[in-house]
Amino acid sequence: MKVLKFGGTSVGSVQSILNVKKIVEAENEPVIVVVSALGGITDKLLQTSKLASSGDNAWQTEYAAMRERHNTVIEGVVPDNKRSAVIKTTSDTFEELENILRGVFLIKDLSAKTSDTIVSYGERLSSLIVSTVITNARLYDARDFIKTHKQFNRHVVDFKQTNSLIRSTFETLPDVALVPGFISSSMDNDEITNLGRGGSDYTASILAAALNASILEIWTDVDGFMTADPKVINSAYVIDKLTFTEAMELCNFGAKVIYPPTIYPAFHKNIPIRVRNTFNPEAPGTLISNEAPVNALNNNNRAIIKGISSINDTCLITVQGLGMVGVIGVNYRIFRALAESGISVFMVSQASSENNTTFAVKNEDADLAIEVLNREFAPERARGEIDDMIAERDLATVAIVGENMKRTPGIAGKLFGTLGRAGISVIACAQGASETNISFVIKIEFLRKALNSIHDSFFLSEYKMLNLFIIGIGTIGGQLIEQIHRQQEKLMKQNGVKLNVVGIANSKRLMMKREGLDLITYVNDLKTKGIDSSPTILRDEILKMNIFNAVFVDCTSSEKIADLYETLLNNNISIVAANKIAASSEYKNYLLLKETARKRGIKFLFETNVGAGLPIINTMNDLINSGDHIISFEAVLSGSLNFILNTISETVPMSRAIGMAVEAKYAEPDPRIDLSGKDVLRKLVILAREAGYIVEQQDVKTNLFIPDKYFDGSPEDFRKQIPSIDGEFEEKRKLLDAHGKRLRFVAKMTDGKCEIGLIEVGSRHPFYDLEGSNNIIMLTTERYRDYPMIIKGYGAGADVTAAGVFADIMSIANIR
């Protein structure tokens, strides 16, 4: 037997009720179906009763609207042969409600008892309607078996009587039992009571526990528990499994998927709960059970914590005074006084010196809490032993939750380090010995920033020490090692970060040392102490070292080295690549590498793939992550080609300019690599993908300025043949010069359509004055539509490229 609960949105419209019918009738075992009021009706009932109690005739308009809405639903879902009877019953029920509201209007008074009666009509009406829609459904009245008693001005379930009544009521189960949620009755006098807002979940859980159901399914309008509020954090995702403890912690701290008291009855009987989406029934949802969590990494989860929850309605109240120190019973008096006044406390923080106790309540309870405590401690306040109570409003409470946090060192340090780097001050914090929850209070204005900062930090890695494998020690790799050597001491002293180079390799040799290699003698050491290497040996040696916080730095242009990325990422090794091959390979491979890095909580960075040390990719990512959309861009992305086109003059022909680019090491020894445009094409593909578009290399339209025939043969053949185009280019240069124009080799992207080629630019174009080997990109976005963003600077050279790789390494350590 199952218990299925459908919330207000699930029964809020004709279509949603038909979805409920389909879901229930697909079950092949007896079910108890618990329904809430039609979506929004409970709020309407409360609003209407308040209007009536204040003597406002508008209550009649609200009442009529509710009645009309129910009639519309009846017309849309109730079968013809049952409709007249349902209309008659609901009409009689609404007349009862109208009479009560009219009485409230006349005496201008709304007692708690009357309010409970009024709000009960929502579930009474919805259950009646739904029971006539589902085949073979039998309607029950929850007031007959859900019994409550009064405790601190709240209705509390009497489980002994309730469980007995439930078992006798459902001794023989029909195919479908339909029960209104939320409503109950007093065990003393049978007066109507309720289980509180969200109480329909609780009703379902009580029934499931009393009848030993196989599972409790909570059908709502979301796919399950999320790692965070998706309205705040776009990258939040559905949590597939939670323990009862994790679910309770998330619910208590603001996750509105399930009413918090729902968890206990199911937990007590070890009945799993599955949260599912009425509007997406194929989604598996979130399973809540007693199943112990497996190790986060072995389970391929994204992080140790399961989720982040928050309460943005927080007031902190502080009771303090030196007279509290060493006095037994102060906290007892605080929380007894609050409980007797019906004030719920959801977080407590106390100084070890015992001179203050701080706790969190809802803002609406703050004034009453202050009044109650000032009265409770009036004698101590008069003697100056305890200060006047302090209430700090406009705050928010945030909690990170996860069973895998137990006995895992560094979680709290990581949390508060993340907040500190984001400039967010923690006002109060608390953590229980169970270690499944760390909660803290901040100013509400920082809530969004805090949630995003924590989500990013706990779902991506943060490092204090990075162990580097540097592959390729040519111009870029050599410069990088030199820069790291110069900065090592400073980073250790000022930032508390050690960059430990544990592996260095070139195409033939490899050396590794866990304690770190000598960055002064490494060239000679590689020859004398290194071992013969290959991509396979390199991979195996790195994995065998199995060192923590590892970063693979690829300063090669090797396809075989790029092929190692997936394996390395799957072994939790971050990658920083100057090598463009992986990021410009097939889109599915590019996406796989990025997704693998994200799921593993590590990084795959390749800023220097485009623009050397220019912050082009990071800037684009920052724009997109902050909600902007990149519409198009134009860019000069080849330092070597720009150098050549800038160098051509009346006295320097094209062939000589190409030779000068090779001599200055702006171009490759075989300049055809640059002149083919393939390097620019790869860069364009990478940028288009980072802008959010699916682009393959073959999708790029090319318009090259060197004829194909010059790319045949050897480099020496090319050098002999290329002067033959000097005359043609000189004529073109003269013509352009006469019209005040220049040639630029430009990469363009507009809405995912890409092309590269030679274009003419006038003196007012941003690319006209681009000097030497500089690069430039002009980004047009939703925010920068009229005045595109321009990034410009050195786009070639080993030193600036190495500096860009260095910056990527440091970003893994979260140092900006």
Q: Which residues are tagged catalytic?
A: 683
- As a whole number of angstroms, the distance between CA 82 and CA 510 comes to 82
> Residue 132 region, left (φ>0) first, then alpha (ψ -120 to 50), else beta?
alpha
Tokens describing residue 772: 């030497």
What is the Cα–Cα distance from 695 to 684, expressed in whole angstroms?
Answer: 9
Q: Are 311 and 440 in contact (CB under 8 A)?
A: no
Tell me how far the alpha carbon of residue 792 is from its chain's centroid. Answer: 33
Q: What is the DSSP string of 13-68?
A: SHHHHHHHHHHHHT-SS-EEEEE-PSTTHHHHHHHHHHHHHTT-THHHHHHHHHHH
C-alpha count within 13 angstroms, C-beta hemisphere, residue 623: 22
Pull the structure tokens for residue 587.
């889109």
Torsion sign across C-alpha atoms 366, 367, 369, 374: positive
Q: Which residues contact 781 (CB under 8 A, 6 or more apart)?
A: 623, 628, 629, 630, 631, 788, 789
Nearest Cα to 417, choosing from 21, 6, 813, 749?
A: 813
Query: Which amino acid does the sequence have at 321?
Result: G
Residues 561, 565, 569: CA angle, nearest 5 degrees: 150
Whole-angstrom distance between the N-terminal and C-terminal Cα of the chain? 57
How far is it, in rounded angstroms, from Cα 94 to Cα 86? 12
How far apart, in whole angstroms, are the C-alpha atoms of residue 535 and residue 718? 32
| Backbone Cα Rg of the chain | 35
Q: Is 816 exposed, middle or buried (0-12, 13-18, 19+ CB in 10 A)?
A: exposed
Give the SS3 label for residue 426. coil
Q: Are 812 and 802 in contact (CB under 8 A)?
A: no
3-state secondary structure of 88: helix
Q: Could you give the CA distance from residue 624 to residue 601 in angstroms, rounded to a whole number?
A: 20
Q: CA 370, CA 421: separation in Å to the nearest integer?
A: 34
Closest alpha carbon to 125 in 45, 219, 17, 37: 37
SS3 at position 75? helix
Strand ranges in 490-587 using DSSP code E only, listed in sequence order: 498-505, 509-512, 531-532, 550-554, 574-577
Tell how far CA 661 is from the center of its chain.
47
